[in-house]
Structure 1
Amino acid sequence: MSNLHQAACHCGAVQFQVRLFDGFDSIRRCTCSYCRMRGAVAVSARLEDISFVQGQDKLTLYQFNSKTAKHYFCSFCGIYTHHQRRSNPHQFGINVACLAGVSPFDFAEVEVKDGVNHPADGAGVAGLAGVLRFVATQA
């Protein structure tokens, strides 16, 4: 599978292309207060590896606490598309559910990072809080 992906929000107002420099090796969830409520699965891309096809002006920015991370979502459908990472501001976290042909349920296990004890707050290296598992049932 190529590391270049087509992506969009739910309503299609925001469309972009993104290159994942490590494929899906960086797949993760996070336990910080915002990610815990948002519930998205993310992968990493360099800032320069995202390009908007349409709708960049439809994105809304949300920031909180240290205001280092920048969380973007579609102002029409409300779907989180990506965020500039607090732990590495040179990267975006991309919502895997926005990638064409990809679902968070495609991954049997997803590491959950300890975002409550964030490394930028003096906690050192981001620890592992757990593993999220998806087990499909027979239809």
Structure 2
Amino acid sequence: MLKTYRGSCHCGAVQFEAELDLEQDSYRCNCSICRRTRFWVAVARPEGFRLLAGADMLSEYRFHSRKNQHLFCKHCGVRAFGIGNDTPIGTMYGVNIGCLEGLSEEALARIPIRCVDGLNDRWQTAPAFCAHL
């Protein structure tokens, strides 16, 4: 069930709201950037995401196909969300679950996780090894 969550980067300069269903799969990816940043993604549709503050504090990084926007706070460096423009479901906002406010450790532990093989562009397949993700 969709619920509205608030979130922010570490320093609070970037703040957002997202409509997320945390009973659905979240994602851990083994691609070069997600593996390095330990990005844990919940998916929000464009109409379910609102940037509340900090647009001017975001720095954008694009690599490989340059289609997806990896956004970071210029001050604290936290990647609170990104915009996937070329994904299997079309445009989406990838919200970093670690940046959501008001979730207990118990609630976080209940979120289902699907590992995806982004390293090899096999988004519907889990990598052979994913415990480290």
Does TM, normalized by the shorter one, top 0.5?
yes
Q: Show structure 2 runs of 5+ residues with no match.
A: none
Deviation per CA, 1:101-127: give whole Å up to 9, x if none.
2378822663211011214xxxxx521
Q: Distance in 2 between matches of 1:31 and 1:3?
A: 27
Higher Cα Rg: structure 1 or 2?
1
Structure 1 residues without counterparts, runs of 5 or longer: 120-124, 134-139
Please show how residues 6-25 of structure 1 align to structure 2 within 5 Å: 6-20=6-20, 22-25=21-24
Task: Note if 1:111 corresponds to 2:114.
Answer: yes
Q: Does the CA-based 8 Å contact 1:24-1:43 persist in structure 2?
A: no
CA-atom RMSD in angstroms: 2.4
Q: What do the CA deviations read for 1:46-78 (whole angstroms, capped 9, x no partner)? A: 112111221111111110010011111111000
Report the secondary structure of 2:34's partner residue.
helix
Task: Work out the percentage of aligned pairs sharing the same amino acid.
Answer: 31
Alignment partner, residue 33 of structure 1:
32
How many residues align? The count is 127
Q: TM-score scaled to structure 2, two decimals?
A: 0.83
Normalised by the length of structure 1, the TM-score is 0.79
Where 2:47 maps in the other structure, the secondary structure is helix
